[in-house]
């Protein structure tokens, strides 16, 4: 069976990567395979998760690169080497330039821990998103999977899932619940959806 080849870009613990790996095993993701995991940080635990599941890994250490251009070119070289069909940003803490995103139109997806257009864009990442949601006093938040373009969190939305905010929530408890009840559900579903459309085009 024809499968879309996925490159997952990571920077940290790799919980979203794990959700994708688990979804491949359980059959939620049927049309894609993770061909390589690329970390921007050599100590990212996500690399261990990939190795434990027999997935090839590569490191492109952002801080060791002379420029953004060199950093992105190293990633492009890996994408070409593995003949990748699309890219998933899973806790990837590096902004990609317009030169990079234009190269892969509607071929890069990202999961963001809010309901875009709320609490998104430049500076909104990690706990900051949940702190903003709580300080604003919204009653519902969630996660969004979207295509990546030159505008941070600005690409076309693929899927969203809402999560209720509880009165006792802290940024940490909210982050955990949004991951478990939204991100880890819609990211694998979106990977499958994008993979299916890529396979259709290949036919």
pLDDT digits (tens, 9 = 90+) for 75-125: 999 999 999 999 999 999 898 999 999 999 999 999 999 999 999 998 898
Provide the whole-model pTM.
0.95
Half-sphere exposure of 104 (CA within 13 A, CB side): 23
For residues 106 and 136, is the Cβ–Cβ distance under 8 A?
no
pLDDT band at 202; cut points 50, 70, 90: confident
- Residue 145's domain spans which residues? 4-202
Number of folded domains that form the chain = 1
- For the stretch 166-190, pLDDT in tens is 999 999 999 999 999 999 999 999 9
Tokens (6 digits) for 2: 């024809």
CATH number at 27 reads 3.40.50.170
pLDDT at 177: 97
Residues whose CB is less than 8 angstroms from the CB of residue 53 and which lie 6 or more positions away in sequence, other chains included: 21
Q: Which of 61, 112, 130, 146 is catalytic?
A: 112
Which residue bears the tokens 């080849």? Answer: 5
Question: What is the mean predicted confidence (pLDDT) over 2-7?
Answer: 96
Given CA atoms 120, 124, 129, 134 in this order, what sign does their dihedral have? negative
Dump the DSSP string for 119-165: S-STT--THHHHHHHHHHT-SEEEEEEEE--SSTT-SPEEEEEEEEP
Strand, coil or helix: what is 114? coil
Residues whose CB is less than 8 angstroms from the CB of residue 180 and which lie 6 or more positions away in sequence, other chains included: none
Rg (CA), the chain: 16
- For the stretch 28-54, pLDDT in tens is 999 999 999 999 999 999 999 999 999
Strand, coil or helix: what is 92? coil
Instruction: Indicate the DSSP class of residue 77.
Output: H
pLDDT band at 203; cut points 50, 70, 90: confident
Instruction: Indicate the DSSP class of residue 64.
Output: G
Is 112 catalytic? The answer is yes
């Amino acid at each position: 069976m024809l499968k879309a080849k996925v490159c997952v870009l990571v920077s940290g613990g790799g919980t979203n990567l794990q959700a994708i790996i688990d979804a491949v095993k359980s059959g939620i993701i049927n049309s894609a395979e993770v061909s390589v995991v690329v970390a921007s940080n050599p100590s990212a635990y996500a690399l261990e998760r990939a190795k434990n599941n027999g997935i090839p890994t590569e490191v492109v250490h952002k801080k060791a690169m002379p420029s953004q251009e060199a950093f992105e070119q190293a990633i492009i070289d890996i994408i070409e080497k593995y003949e990748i069909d699309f890219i998933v940003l899973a806790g990837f803490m590096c902004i990609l330039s317009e030169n990079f995103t234009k190269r892969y139109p509607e071929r890069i997806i990202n999961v963001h821990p809010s309901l875009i257009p709320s609490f998104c864009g430049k500076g909104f990442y990690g706990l900051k998103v949940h702190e903003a949601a709580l300080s604003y006093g919204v009653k519902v938040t969630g996660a969004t999977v979207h295509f990546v373009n030159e505008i941070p969190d600005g690409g076309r939305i693929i899927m969203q899932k809402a999560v209720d905010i509880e009165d006792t929530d802290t940024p940490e408890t909210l982050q955990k619940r949004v991951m478990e009840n939204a991100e880890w559900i819609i990211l694998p579903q979106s990977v499958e959806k994008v993979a299916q459309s890529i396979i259709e085009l290949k036919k």
